Amino acid sequence: MSRVQYNMALSGQPPQELSVWQKVFVFIGMLGLLVLLLATFNYQFPNKTLWLSLSLGSICIGVIGFSWSLYGDKPSGIKNDGVWFKPLTSRGLWAWLFGIFITLFYVVLYFFPQYLGLNADAENTGLIVLFDPLSYALSGNPASQWFMYGTLYTLSILIFGIKFIWKYRHSQYEVIRTLSVMFFQTAFAFIIPELMARLNGESLQLPYYDLKNIWPLNYYNFEQYRIDGFLNSGTIGMALLIFGVISIFVITPILTYKYGKRWYCSWVCGCGGLAETAGDPFRQLSDKRQIAWKVERWVVHSVVVFVTLMTTAVIYSYLDYDAAKYWLNKDIFLGLVALLLTLVFAWAMLFRREELQKDAQYGAIGYFVIIIGLLTIHFFWGSQLFLFQAETLRTTYAFLIGSVFSGVIGVGFYPIFGNRVWCRFGCPMAAILGFQQRLFSKFRITTNGGQCISCGNCSTYCEMGIDVRAYAQKGENIVRSSCVGCGICSAVCPRGVLKLENDDMDGRINSEEVLLGNDVDLMDLVNQKSK
DSSP label at residue 477: -
Would residue 263 count as lying in a domain?
A: yes
Average confidence (pLDDT) over 300-320: 82
Report, as an integer, the average pLDDT of 46-54: 92
Q: Of 1-10, 14-23, 422-431, 518-527, which one has max mean pLDDT? A: 422-431
Longest dimension (CA), the chain: 79
| pLDDT for res 278 | 93
Note the Cα 390 to chain centre separation in Å: 26
Please check whether residue 205 lies inside any domain of the structure. Answer: no
Q: What is the CA radius of gyration of the chain?
A: 25
| Whether residue 87 has a cis bond before it, omega within 30° of 0 | no
Q: How many CB atoms lie within 10 A of CB 84?
A: 18
125 and 224 together in one domain: no
Average pLDDT in the 260-268 region? 93
Closest to 161 measured CA to CA, from 74, 265, 272: 272
Local confidence band at 334 (pLDDT 50, 70, 90 cut-offs): confident
Average pLDDT over residues 414-431: 91
Nearest to residue 154, comparing CAs of 185, 113, 177, 131?
185
Q: pTM for the full model?
A: 0.86
Closest C-alpha to 389, from 475, 496, 310, 334: 310
Average pLDDT, whole number, for the chain?
83
Q: Among 435, 478, 491, which residue's Cα sits nearest to residue 261?
A: 435
Say how far apart CA 416 and CA 287 lie, in whole Å.
10
For residue 263, the enclosing domain spans: 213-441
Q: Say yes or no: 355 and 425 in one domain.
A: yes
* Whether 436 and 459 share a structural domain: no
Same domain, 508 and 423: no
Q: What is the mean pLDDT of residues 215-223?
A: 84
Same domain, 224 and 173: no
| Nearest CA-CA partner of 465 in 486, 447, 437, 451 | 486
Cα–Cα distance for residue pair 141/261, rounded to 1 Å: 36
Residue 330 belongs to some domain of the structure:
yes
Q: Does pLDDT of 62 surpass 90?
A: yes
What's the CA gap between 264 and 242, in Å, rounded? 20
Residue 46 lies in a domain: yes
138 plus 77 within the same structural domain: yes
> Which pLDDT belongs to residue 516?
42
In a domain, 203, yes or no: no
Q: How far apart are CA 6 and CA 10, in angstroms?
A: 12
CB-count burial class (<10 Å; 0-12, 13-18, 19+) for 68 = middle
HSE at residue 448, side-chain half, CA atoms within 13 A, is: 11
Q: Quick one: residue 231, left, alpha or beta (phi over 0 = left, psi -120 to 50 = alpha)? A: alpha
The structural domain count of the chain equals 3
Q: Is residue 204 situated within a structural domain?
A: no
CATH at residue 506:
3.30.70
The three-state (H, E, C) secondary structure of 299-359, written as one string: HHHHHHHHHHHHHHHHHHHHCCCCCCCCCCCHHHHHHHHHHHHHHHHHHHHHHCHHHCCHH
Which of 415, 176, 63 lies closest to 71 in space, CA to CA? 63
Assigned domain for 207 exists: no
The mean pLDDT of 250-267, rounded to a whole number, is: 93
Are the C-beta atoms of 484 and 420 separated by less than 8 Å? yes
* Share of residues in the chain with pLDDT > 70 (%): 87
Instruction: Give the domain-ending residue among 441, 463, 488.
Output: 441
Do residues 225 and 192 both lie within one domain? no
Average pLDDT rounded to a whole number, residues 442-471 = 89
Buried b vs exposed e over 234-259: b needs ≥16 C-beta within 10 Å?
eebbeebbeebeebeeeebeebbbeb
- pLDDT reported for residue 183: 95
Q: Are residues 426 and 455 in the same domain?
A: no
- In-domain check, residue 206: no
43 and 171 together in one domain: yes
* Domain identity same for 398 and 452: no
What are the φ/ψ torsions at residue 417 (nearest 5 degrees)?
-110, 5
